[in-house]
Amino acid sequence: NAGVTQTPKFQVLKTGQSMTLQCAQDMNHEYMSWYRQDPGMGLRLIHYSVGAGITDQGEVPNGYNVSRSTTEDFPLRLLSAAPSQTSVYFCASSSTGIDTGELFFGEGSRLTVL
Amino acid sequence: AQRVTQPEKLLSVFKGAPVELKCNYSYSGSPELFWYVQYSRQRLQLLLRHISRESIKGFTADLNKGETSFHLKKPFAQEEDSAMYYCALRWGEGLTFGEGTQLTVNP
């Protein structure tokens, strides 16, 4: 099992460009989520999904869109990148939702917006 | 709003010494707290959760609602404990993480 796979691992964008961070999991987890981690700060929840066709906002959703058309995939879209979105992004999934608190994380995607 | 604070960014101890990583939280509801760990070149993973009252790899953590703390402790640190440790609080359908503490256990 690959677990949670994120692509790309690194990306540089110019202000105003759009892009999609991909996240796929092969564990048949219903719950998936996206976090961002800024330097010196903890991870903050952007969006999450409790199953295919269901998404909801986290703590810092502005500037991001998500969709969940399949159980396996949960892409994160930046509509018009801004320097404030420079961060490391983590995708995480769980078989039990957030109830047990056990999230399985991807390796992270480092995004720089110039 | 919920908040998790880890006051020490860096913590260095010698092998065999006790270690305590501090975590404080603020939350209006009933707290559910967790410790996550990230070893070098590995992914972030769950270490333990307060509700299980378990000891994992010799680590324990007690929820103190009066002091709003969830400190992680180990009586005798090992070199393999060197890692980044994050305290996390459940809110709704997500977790809020602290800033993390880099623990180094010296030989």
Residue B23 identity (one-letter amino acid): C
- Top residue of B21, B93, B99, B102 to mutate, by most chain A CBs within 10 Å, is B93
pLDDT at A114 over 90: yes
Q: Which of B44, B36, B45, B29 is nearest to B91 (CA)?
A: B29
Q: pLDDT (tens digit, 9 = 90+) per residue, B33-49?
A: 999 999 999 999 999 99
Distance in Å, alpha carbon of B96 to nearest chain A alpha carbon: 6
Task: Locate B43 and state its tokens.
Answer: 């992914």
Q: pLDDT (tens digit, 9 = 90+) per residue, A49-88?
A: 999 999 999 999 999 999 999 999 999 999 999 999 999 9
Degrees to nearest 5, angle at CA B51 with B12 and B48 = 35
Residue A107 CA, chain-centre distance (Å), reads 11
